[in-house]
Each structure stands twice: as structure tokens, then as C-alpha cells.
Amino acid sequence: MTSLTSWPIVFSLLPSDILSTGCTVIAAVAIVIRIFDTIRPKAVMAHLDSSITHVASKFYDFENRLDATQFLSFKDSLRKSVKLQIKALDLREMMLPTSTSPFKELQLFFKGYTVAVVKCIYEAKELDAEIEVCNQYSVL
């Protein structure tokens, strides 16, 4: 019981500069860890996988509703979809060796891997919007 009451005394003996500096350092480390956890390659790749799956399923539904003449007019969207899936597979292949070590994952991050994955996610969103427009166009 006495050990719990002695902590305020120990903290009061320390200069306030050390305490505020220590709290600042701990907060900065926590923020850096949180940021890296958000943009680390594995987390971003999981988001890319879900985006690609969503676009592929949407395109598959769109493709099934078209006849042969309509399908030829939307072949550019099909080409973009295939290129995007190949790009995602290439990025996934680059990610495989990093599954054993967080340091390799950090190395990929500094090589710009995360930026490439985020660009691919934006391309998937653009393709999703394009497929939605094509869907509305084909209904007319």
C-alpha cells in the first residue's frame, strides 16, 4: 500500500522538463507507429485486394448483361480491368518476400511500394466509376 502512495513523491522530485519531454517523446513514437501501421504495405495491399475484387465482380455482372455488339464498344473498360488485375498481381508478388520480416516491409515502404499500391487503388476507383457509367449507358 505504501508503494502506491510513494509514486507522486517520486514524480514531484523529477524536474517538470523531463516529464514533459518524456511525454512528448512517447506521444511522438505512438503517432509514428500509428501512421506506419495505417500505411504499411500489408494493410494497403489488403485494401487493394478488396477494391480489385469489388471492381471485378461489378465488371463480371456488367459483362453478363451485354450482348456481343455492346461488348465490343466497352472493350476499353475490359482492357483497363485486365491491366489493373495484372498490376495488382505484380504488386502482390513483390509483397510475398516481406511476409517474414517487418524490416523488409519497412524497406518496401521506403522504396515507394505503398505509393504504387495507393495509385492502383485510385485506378480501381476510377474504373469502378467508369463501369458504373457504362452500366447506366447500357441500360439506355
Q: What is the pLDDT along the chain (140 residues), one digit of tens a residue?
A: 455 566 566 666 666 666 677 777 888 888 887 877 777 777 778 878 888 888 888 777 777 777 666 666 677 777 888 888 888 888 888 777 766 777 777 777 778 888 888 888 888 888 888 878 777 776 65
CA distance 140 to 136: 7
Q: Is the pTM of this model over 0.85?
A: no
Look at the chain and count its residues. 140
CA distance 136 to 138: 6
Contact 108, 95 (CB under 8 A): yes
CB under 8 Å to 71, separation ≥6 — which residues?
63, 78
